[in-house]
Amino acid sequence: MADSPSASPAPSTVFSTPTLSSTFTTPSTAFTTPDLAKSPFSGSSEGGWKLVQQGGGVPPNGFTHLDTAFAKEQEEAGRARSFEWEIYQQIGVKDSQPRLRYKRRLGPTEVSYYLGSRGEGIEGGVNDMYLHIGFKARSSLLQPDRLLEIWTELLRRHTLLASSVEFEDYYNIRFCYDRPATPIEAREKARSLMEIRVGEYAQGQISTHLNGSRTLSDQRLAYLVISTPESTFTSPDPSAEQEYDFFLFSTHFLGDGMALHATANEFFTLLAEGSAVGTGVNVDAVETGVNVDRAEAKEELDASKLAPAMESKLVTKEKWGRMGWSAAKVEYANEQAKLVGGHAFPRARLGTRHTLVPTVSYPAEQTKRILAVCKSHASTIAHAMFALSNIAYLRSAGKEKDEGKLPVMLYSALNVRPFLKKETNPVDWYHIAIGYYNVILPSFLPFSVPPASTFWHRCVIVKSQTNRAVKTPFLASRAMLMALEREGRSIGWEREDDERRAREASKMVEGLGISGVELGQAKEEMEEMKEVRVEKVEEKDINVRPKAPSTALMGLSMLGNLDGIYQHKDYHGIQLHSLTTGSRQRPGAILLFAYTFAGKLWISLGYDSNGFEKGAVESWWNELLKGVDEFLLEKEE
């Protein structure tokens, strides 16, 4: 794993961005007021932009019956949102090529993650993701201009990475992509979203992202960092190999883990090749300055191929009307009522949230043994991690008087990409596409049964529950309803936060002697914000089961075999050897990752070290690792 940052020399950069600091600092945009200053939205006038291509206004299947909160906010029954890209053209600008702006309303899943990321200070940026890959490569491959060329190409392929966010109100939040008019603009945009660092260790950079000021913002949704712990970025000897670290940071409302890994694979594939062929960016023209204005991208940008909202592509029943979706709501509500859990790690507030990421990897030989043992029991590493988490908790927590009456519940994300509409002309896949499911396991350990038998039986339970979640014919409708429910909750929480911040701001300006007229205007704006009300997805007259306790112990993110995504054999001159991933967390959060990479099994835990009683999580982690030795490696004590 990465070396300790304590010995890291002062960092320096080979090239730095013209507007952004060479270190991770909070962007200058405001995130703490309940008005339009949260993003560069300029009102209905569009700031000199006119609409030239409007979407069809067709909502996702079922939204006419489901999007009731939006319809109420618009005071128009039956109205529902649509999530198509629209094109604007800047007026009053005499460029050789029209300046175009592409916009799309965020879908419910995107909204829930976006609103959750708008906290203040260190609490901001919740769920902002990072992907770190340690690799060794020929120094000649890592020329800064070449890295910039590759990043420019990736931003061309995946436009959300180069987009910003416009916030108007809770139901009108949009991605905004300004297409570069020239290759120089494309290159400058890419340069502003990347950084090269020298003399920096990986562990320190991860800690800075997780626990320092926010790396990302409404105007910077993604950021690429290539660093080296060495004193120089490249070696004078072109054949010499050197250690490097790849970091891709992305907001979670922009994409998910699969999008991150697929993009990283593209990066290393291009890095191993001679150049980023077919970029649409004439790098020679950019470098020499010859005919730069005419060196325009020949490839037209088709708005229909830009990254969609997940909800607009979910394959749901076309023939379902009001009755069909009412039945789906009942099914969803009853399924949610089955989620019973009564266990959590003992909480504490020992200080400001501080995320730690202990990570363990197992050599290739041991990984093969683990995979073989799982296969012999008709299970997978993912099934085993759920069972291990359950048993490790019961062993570390000991017996409790009342908690044994309720089971242990664990939650996980579900990749819904296989359940999205298949397009004749594929659309950009860099977008979020996840659902959620839960696994419920017993809260006791039988003494009359060998521990190994208990473990493998619980793997069978996990497998059964996972298959039921994935293979249900209601998967798409559940994902749609869950997305709307999560969006509604996030809007409710954000409205409360905005009202609280407005009250605090009002008291502050009163103390500064601000006029009553200005205060009155601020109050009027807050009253407008209060008009947005959130309805639960479930209708009040639906007869569902009573809600049971549904406390989840923790979350698990099972990424599977990442060597199926990373094409190591194509990375000539490059050796990927380590990978860690995670996200900025809320206080008291805990999330377990497991995956295979570079032939090794990796188990990584991200948790708030100040959010739990001392020793509670650490004891569980030790029991989990002991369980790997006991059940998967079958070591004798």
pLDDT tens readout for residues 25-40: 333 332 322 333 344 4
Confidence at 531, pLDDT banded by 50, 70, 90: very low
- Strand partners for 561: 596
Taking every pair of Cα atoms in the chain, the longest distance, rounded to a whole number of angstroms, is 82
Confidence at 77, pLDDT banded by 50, 70, 90: low
Closest CA to 8 of 198, 195, 196, 201: 201
Q: What is the dihedral of CA 455, 457, 458, 460, to 10 degrees?
A: 130
Residue 231 has a pLDDT of: 93
Task: Tell me the average pLDDT across 433-447.
Answer: 96
pLDDT, tens digit (0-9, with 9 covering 90-100), for 450-468: 999 999 999 999 999 999 9
Closest CA to 170 of 434, 432, 486, 492: 492
CA dihedral (286, 288, 293, 297) positive or negative: negative
Query: For residue 257, what are its two tokens?
Result: 């883990």
The better pLDDT of the pair 188, 544 is held by 188
CA–CA separation, 23 vs 316, rounded Å? 45
Residue 299 has a pLDDT of: 59
The residues near 541 (Cβ < 8 Å, ≥ 6 apart) are none
Cβ atoms of 87 and 303 closer than 8 Å:
yes
CA–CA separation, 141 vs 273, rounded Å? 9
CA–CA separation, 76 vs 54, rounded Å? 21
Question: Exposed, middle or buried by CB within 10 Å (0-12, 13-18, 19+), for 637?
Answer: exposed
pLDDT, tens digit (0-9, with 9 covering 90-100), for 295-329: 444 456 899 999 999 999 999 988 888 899 999 99
Confidence at 41, pLDDT banded by 50, 70, 90: very low
Q: What percent of the chain has pLDDT over 70?
A: 80
Q: How many C-beta neighbours within 10 Å does residue 377 have?
A: 17
Residue 507 has a pLDDT of: 77
Closest CA to 8 of 199, 172, 151, 186: 199
- Which residue type is seen at 335? E
Task: Tell me the average pLDDT across 69-73.
Answer: 80
Task: Tell me the average pLDDT across 272-291.
Answer: 44
Where along the chain do its domains lie?
331-339+352-477+546-631
Question: Exposed, middle or buried by CB within 10 Å (0-12, 13-18, 19+), for 90?
Answer: middle
- Which residue type is seen at 256? D
**pTM for this predicted structure:** 0.85
Average pLDDT in the chain: 85
Residue 71 has a pLDDT of: 77
Residues 573-603 as b or e (16 or more Cβ within 10 Å = b): ebebebbbbbbbbebbbbbbbbbbbbebbbb
Task: Tell me the average pLDDT across 409-420.
Answer: 96
Closest CA to 432 of 446, 410, 448, 417: 417
Closest CA to 35 of 155, 167, 153: 167
Give me the CATH code for the 331-339+352-477+546-631 domain, please.
3.30.559.30
Of 145-149, 187-191, 280-284, 395-399, least confident by mean pLDDT is: 280-284
225 three-class SS: strand
Which is it for strands 100-105 and 86-90: parallel, antiparallel or unpaired?
Answer: antiparallel
The residues near 494 (Cβ < 8 Å, ≥ 6 apart) are 115, 116, 118, 170
Of 118-127, 534-543, 580-589, least confident by mean pLDDT is: 534-543
Task: Tell me the average pLDDT across 213-236.
Answer: 96
Q: What percent of the chain has pLDDT over 90?
A: 68
Residue 631 pLDDT exceeds 70 = yes
CA 388 to chain centre: 25
Residue 433 pLDDT exceeds 50 = yes
DSSP letter (8 states) at residue 435: E
Query: For residue 623, what are its two tokens?
Result: 């029991």
CA–CA separation, 276 vs 274, rounded Å? 7
pLDDT, tens digit (0-9, with 9 covering 90-100), for 596-627: 999 999 999 999 999 999 999 999 999 999 99
Residue 68 has a pLDDT of: 84
Residue 352 has a pLDDT of: 94
Task: Tell me the average pLDDT across 394-407.
Answer: 75
pLDDT, tens digit (0-9, with 9 covering 90-100), for 352-372: 999 999 999 999 999 999 999
